[in-house]
Amino acid sequence: MTSKERILNKCAKAADGAFAMPELDDIAAVEYPDPLKQFCATSEAVGGKVVELADNQDINELVRSLFPEARRIASNLTEISIADTNPDLVENACELNGTDLGIIRGEFGVAENGCIWIPQTMKQRAVCFISENLVILLPRQNIVNNMHEAYKRISFNDYGYGTFISGPSKTADIAQVLVMGAQAARSVTVILI
């Protein structure tokens, strides 16, 4: 017998089928009068920054004004013209090390916890983590209240990877002092488009 068979047999014997799956649609989950406002407040609370793109404002100009010092910028978004590295064209993900700014798109935001759903839409997803600073473009009408709504909405493409990101990488592992910028992006700026 393989270990798989042994384990499954043992579990089948032990699992008595006694408990039914509970109803989950009846969870009275938090909703907000203004989900966008709540999303912005939560994002700030988790260490992120939220900026609105004004009507007629050029996204590249806005990003430049936010990161005047960024030299190496990586993005595969067609509307981003200031990028000098395209993560779709990078052969070895390690080449993205040293990226000052990564610019990616988020599908929707979650008001209760500041999470943004980021399905992988580039060959090298490392750009979402390895960049010193991360900018996420997020359509302002795409905000859900809570994770129940969020998990009804997420979808995957062929890359088979997606992540919720809520603010910058952080740690309190040294003496419980909160420090932004552990192993991944040191700052996260959400631009509402």
Partner 1 sequence: MSTFHSKSAKSFLKDEKYSSWHDKTFWSVRQKRDAMAEKLDEWEQLREKASRIKLHTLSHLDKYLEEFSGNAEKNGVKVHWAADAAEFNEIVFGILSSHGVKKLVKSKSMLTEECEMNPYLEARGIEVVETDLGERIIQLKGQKPSHIVMPAIHLNHDDVGELFERKGISDQPGNHDPSYLTYMARLSLRGEFLSADAGMTGANFGIAATGDIVVCTNEGNADMSTSLPKLQISAIGLEKIIPDYASLAVFQRMLCRAGTGQPSTTYTSHFRKARCEDGEMHIILVDNGRSDWLADPAHREILKCIRCGSCMNTCPVYRRSGGYSYSYFIPGPIGINLGMLRSARQHSGNLSACTLCRSCETVCPVKIGLAEQIYSWRQSLSGLGTFNRSKKLMSDAMSLVFNHQGLYDAATGAESVMNIVPRDWMPFGLRFPRKPFHKLVKEDDK
Residues 100-129 contacting partner 1, CB under 8 A = 110, 112-115, 123-126, 128-129
Q: Which of 17, 33, 54, 69 binds partner 1 (CB under 8 A)?
A: 17
Q: How far is the CB of 20 from partner 1 (least distance, A)?
A: 6
Contact positions with partner 1 (CB under 8 A) in 133-192: 146-148, 150-152, 154, 156, 159-177, 179, 181-185
CA distance 130 to 119: 16
Four-point Cα dihedral 136, 139, 140, 142, nearest 10: -110
Tell me, by CB under 8 A, how many residues bind partner 1.
75
Stretch 24-43 residues interacting with partner 1 (CB under 8 A) = 24, 27-30, 42
State the minimum distance, in angstroms, from the CB of residue 64 to partner 1.
Answer: 25
The DSSP-derived string for 86-137 is -TTT-SSGGGGTT-SEEEEE-S-EETTT--EEEE--SS-TTHHHHSSEEEEE
Taking the complex as a whole, the smallest distance from the CB of residue 116 to partner 1 amounts, in Å, to 11
28 to each of 24, 31, 102, 168, how far by Cα in Å?
9, 9, 37, 30
Using rule CB under 8 A, residue 45 touches partner 1: yes
- Among positions 7, 37, 57, 61, the unique one binding partner 1 when judged by CB under 8 A: 7
Can you give the C-alpha Rg of the chain in angstroms? 20
